[in-house]
Chains A and B, each alone.
Chain A
Amino acid sequence: MKTYSNIILPSLFMLLLWGCVKPFNPEGIEIIDNMYVIEGDIIQNDTTRVTVSRSISVNDESKINYISGALVWVESETGTKYTAKQVSSGETITYVINTVGINPNLKYRLHVNIGQRKYVSALLPVLQAPPVGSVGYNVDTVKQSVTFHVSSNDPSGNTRYYRWFFTEDWEFHAQFQAFFEYIPATDEVIPIPESKNRYYCWGKGRSSSILVASTTGLTEDRVHEKPLVSMGSGDRRISYLYSMELNQMAISEEAFKYWDNIQKNSDQLGGIFSPQPSEMDGNIICITNKSEKVIGYISAGIVSKKRIFARGEDIGIYKYPNNCDVEFVNMDNPMNFHSLWERGLEVTTYTGHPPFGESYWASRYCVDCRLQGTKNKPAFWPNNHI
């Protein structure tokens, strides 16, 4: 054997385009749609809200296909029925059942009849959720993001499987406060009364991730800082005042597995070592056609709630977008108000039309918060902004 010396020289490697991700649109997919999807938990200390919808094609970008006219009721193991009332708000159709104060020692099941099709859930015990321990947040200054998290524990050790969902409200304000308003029809500038300000607005939303946790492998029935939602520095929710009302439920092991599987199928695939996706059956079946696929897992319980507020300046990562178009109009820059308005600008401060007065103009979306929110202030909001 000869003596070898092997030197592999790094070539002028253009490694910038190393791996890549591009859209994948397979052809010839046989779409399975129009499966019924039944969602809603039987809640002993709150209203039970059930939605019935149908699955849609993956490429269908339309909204949720809600089903109206279904007969929905909760039935206890002793046969008592609590019937639902259909409530429409916007496009959403909800079946609302007053289940407050039902006997928590009985088991319940959900019935849904859609025309001739009858669906029924398993018989479910009412599980008592422990109180929510605390909801807090961690700020990652490197990534410029904030993550809200929940910590809870059940000293009795009976809960073990948790599920959370939340509603959120936030107050934000426009980047610039407009004290005046331009009326294009008359080319007038009139003051805006504070009661009609376009500066303070509110938004609302709800959790969109599946939030479940298990404490089975732990010595205590304790959840520590389970992440709920993350927001980046451009997220308006943390610009001024953010509020979250967290609902905590105790769920069964089967329910946990079901939710966990949906979450894995939706969020964890695509990595190099990701598991193969698979579908899991829920606990609701079609009794008129046993082979019909129906999606949904119903739980029953007593929820615990906690509301928190977080101030944008405490979180400290929010940055206003740097994309306002601004104009200062005076005798040196005597621009036509109407053309500024047509350009998408609104007046914020005004002392008069040029040449004698001065005015400051900025892009509408930097001035009018209603473009990103509403003036619907939640009743519980802790300040006096209008």
Chain B
Amino acid sequence: MKKTIIIFIALLATGLTANAQTPARITVKGINADSLSKVILKEGGRELLIKDASETLFNLDCSRQNIWTSLESELESKGFRLLDINNNLVAVSSKELLTKLPDRYFDYNPGDTTDLEYVKAVTFDDNTAKSENKVYKIGDPDMPSKGSRVLMSGYVRNLDSGEPLPGVSVMLEEPFAVATTDAFGLYRLTLPKGARSIVVKGYGMEDAKLMLDVFGDGMLDIVMKDKVYALSGVVLTAESNLKMRSTQMGIEKVRIDRIKHVPSAFGEADVLKIVLTLPGVKSVGESSGGFNVRGGAADQNLILFNEGTIYNPTHLFGLFSAFNPDVVNDIELYKSTIPAKFGGRISSVLEINSRNGNSNKITGSAGIGLLTGKFHLEGPIAKGKTNFIAGLRTTYSNWILGLLPPSSGYRDGKASFSDMTLGLSHKINEDNTLYFYGYYSGDKFSFSRDTTYGYRNINASLKWRKIIDDRRNMVMSAGFDQYGFNTADRGNPVNAYEMDFRIRQLFYKANFNWMVHEKHSVNYGVNTLLLDLSPGNLVPAGSESIVVEKRIPVERGAELSFYASDTWTLSDALSVDLGVRYNLYSALTRDSVKPYHGPEFRVSARYAANDDLAFKGGFSSMRQNIHMLSNTSSISPTDIWKLSDRNIVPQTGWQAAAGLYQNIMRKKVELSLEAYYKEMYNYLDYKSGAILNMNENIHNDVLKTQGRAYGIEIMVRKPLGKLNGWMAYTYSKTMLRESGKKDSYNINDGNWYPASYDKPHDLKIVANYKFTQRFSVSVNVDYATGRPVTIPVSKYNYGGGFRLYYSERNAYRIPDYFRADIAINIEPSHNLTLWTHSTITIGVYNVTGRQNAFSVFYTTENGNKVQGYQLSIFGSPIPYINYNIKF
């Protein structure tokens, strides 16, 4: 791994005054990079950052007027290029990045030294833009296009790593138009001909402004630079623009940088826990992996990691998410209008994308945490063509189980987990790129000496991306997903058994993007899914066991969906997104074949009253052909899944939502308000005493349940400034009702009852205050109404002891949940002579030490006293230190 010296002088303001005073000539000889920077700061009033110049010595002999041209040629002669990015001068080794200098470079008139245009930028290629002072020509000036508007497209990449940057907004200022880069960093923007300026904004990146001279359709690749102080600063400009401009609503996107700075238990960055800080998302319980989105059940969320479906996204019964934060790029949660290209679950889609890997050099990281050790490596295999990224994480977490309370029952346990991620991308040519993704996560644990559990996810997929022409591109992917678990209980040799469950699926997806017209952007495609589910095999373990070997027949199913959607820009102010998806499904197992099919509608509209006020509305309906069988309130590693068949009908649901988005206080603060109403049908509940595992007649034990949910989400976000972060308040209700026949109700006599994740009041605060550039404090607050529980309301003597008689389902609530976490981020030094750049995060999880109830249980004491207890998992403040070195 290569060392990079980062020299940084953080004195932005002083330079301007220095400019006006001094006379005459600058002469220095044989000075090092450090000194040169000081000279330039003194004489030119600009800070200069020189990378990779450990040995090089520089000379400068020029007048004050032509300091910039002289500096540039001097750097050039020593093998450096000078870049001007957002008022920072950066000199980079040209050996590394620069393939050729543009011919125009030396033709540029250096005498033009107005205040702003004293430095020319150097580009990687003719069609790559990063200078703010240059005017880029789009299209052929000699052959201007006939129409008044043209199409400009290109990629946005990271300057250092060459990785494509998704989610970057490319905005035309006048007349307003915006395009957002897709997962591959590609944007398409239509704009009128003539002199234009565009602003490029991306999360964690320096904003850039580019001058264009537009003649006709053309390409422009844009390179952006990391924010130098991308420490814990919450920079959400790109996201905010997205919220105002996109037609869709209820989308939450979080970049990994943000995730890494939210205080967490054990100091482990957790990509799923951040989702829980977003409005409308509720945790099933502390230390449990499930989450509920707008009143949906935990199994109604589709979790996609690089296209593959992850059935169990957690490690250690939910303490951690199963994704290595060093490999993840961003996560995106669709909780309201779900794009037509997604389907299969009725509540939400959580998309997690890994990075593509550095395309310039091999880099990596290694880390040791309280519980995990991790390692990742990325870089080019063939420069400019093939990149890879690979991550590995494993644990030595056995000790943590010894710390669990004895009443949890897991104290004698052992637990281990690991996960591996691999990403490969290969650029065949300008228009064709192939991607391969592989993922494995596995957990193994034993609660006692005789009982063992294990589960694993395996995913592999291949993706082909083709740019068909200027206006069309295509992404095709095919892959394999598998999830399975096995349990064994050898406590009693005669009854010893092993049981396993497995689901696997093959998928093929094709998605076409077609910018039909500047006002119509069409997306269409097909998804197919073949499912193969083994509900359970029970086999005797050991020679003494007399357990009957039982194999429940494999269930198979196939799903085919077609979809099309059109983003229709009626005017600058009004745009609509019209989508439809048709889903066909059938179980394929003999005796249970039954086709189901139906349309799904995804409609949304946006009206922007002005730049700072937008209204949106949407409706989406969804179908789900797979059900998780679980009668516990949290996701357990032994929950099995079931395909819809002749007896079990697919789940369906719809949601209508409306929202208002406003920028206030001169765009410094964003306000959003969303309200929704949602209905769900054919959700599964269970009869008393239902046996879910190894039951071939499970349909006799399930109860169809319907649900309705509504709520209002208010969010205030301040993306920038000394104080930044967000505050979200949600009021919501989620009610369920058994939809069976009259007279045979099993649960609450067929009346509505609150779902176990119904938490009406919910307040979340994620805030960061920057005292200085080196010192900031992050605070995380989470308050929610206690979840409903079923508790005993009476007791009676039976079978020699007192037994409990329970209330109607979910008639009571556990105490309210409150937790505050705090983290202090310190950057000890930016000393020029240090070659490492370190940051320290000191944090406390649950700083108030509140003992939040995770669950309640009752025990009979002294023969006739029944006492209720609440179990808290993190019942005390948990401090941690996190030390990072960047070199």
Contact = CB atoms under 8 A, between A and B. Distances in A.
A269 B871 CA distance: 11
Contacts of B791: 26, 29
A7 interface: yes
A384 interface: no
A61 B865 contact: yes
B879 A13 contact: yes
Contacts of A26: 791, 812-814, 868
Interface in B843-885: 851, 853-858, 860, 863-876, 878-885
A272 B886 contact: no
Contacts of A23: 867-870
Interface stretch (B176-184, B603-611, B628-636): B628-636
Interface string A34-69: 010101000000000001011111111111100000
B290 to A, nearest CB: 11
A5 B869 contact: no
Contacts of B815: 24
Nearest to B868: A24
A18 interface: yes
Contacts, number: 291
Contacts of A280: 688-689
B363 interface: yes
Given A19-B873, A218-B495, A9 B881 contact: yes
A219 B547 contact: yes
Interface in A136-162: none
A18 B796 contact: no
SS class of chain A's interface: helix, strand, loop or mixed? loop
A295 B870 contact: no
Contacts of B792: 58, 277
B756 interface: yes
Contacts of A217: 497, 538, 547-548, 550, 694
Interface in A246-277: 257-262, 265-266, 269-277
B782 to A, nearest CB: 18
Given A22-B869, A35-B794, A218-B548, A8 B370 contact: yes
Interface stretch (B60-68, B158-166, B434-442, B527-535): B158-166
A32 interface: yes
Interface in A80-120: none
Given A22-B851, A24-B814, A274-B855, A8 B882 contact: yes
Interface string A286-320: 00000000011000000000000000000000000
For chain B, give the interface size range.
35 or more
Contacts of B631: 275-276
B24 interface: no
Contacts of B805: 32, 35, 55, 279, 295
Interface string B396-411: 0000000111011110
A262 B807 CA distance: 14
A209 B800 contact: yes
A262 B809 CA distance: 16
B408 to A, nearest CB: 6
A35 B636 contact: no
A207 B799 CA distance: 8
A259 B870 CA distance: 26
For chain A, give the interface size range.
35 or more
A20 B850 CA distance: 11
Contacts of B881: 8-11
A14 interface: yes
Nearest to B405: A19
Contact of B408 (A35, A39, A59, A272): A272
A262 to B, nearest CB: 5
A31 B792 CA distance: 9
B28 interface: no
A56 B795 contact: yes
Contacts of B793: 29-32, 58
A8 B800 contact: no
A56 B794 contact: yes
Interface stretch (A220-228, A233-241, A326-334): A220-228
A210 B801 CA distance: 8
Contacts of B842: 11
Interface centre among B326, B367, B801 (most CB of A within 10 A): B801
A51 B800 CA distance: 11
Nearest to A59: B866
A61 B628 CA distance: 41
Contact of A7 (B4, B368, B854): B368
A17 B378 contact: no
Contacts of B365: 3-6
Contacts of B364: 3-4
B887 A5 contact: yes
Interface centre among A5, A165, A258 (most CB of B within 10 A): A5
A385 interface: no
Given A2-B886, A12-B879, A260-B689, A273 B634 contact: yes
Contacts of B405: 18-21
B546 interface: yes
Give 4 closest A-B pairs by Cβ, nearest first: A270-B857, A6-B367, A224-B494, A208-B801
Interface of B: 1-2, 4, 158, 160-161, 163, 267-268, 287-288, 317, 326, 355, 358, 363-370, 374, 378, 403-405, 407-410, 492-495, 497, 538, 546-548, 550, 631-634, 636, 638, 688-689, 694, 747, 756, 790-801, 803-807, 809, 812-815, 842, 851, 853-858, 860, 863-876, 878-887
11 contacts: A5-B365, A6-B368, A12-B879, A13-B370, A20-B875, A24-B869, A25-B868, A31-B793, A277-B790, A280-B689, A295-B798
Interface of A: 1-15, 17-26, 29-33, 35, 37, 39, 51, 53-64, 165, 206-210, 217-220, 222, 224-225, 257-262, 265-266, 269-280, 295-296
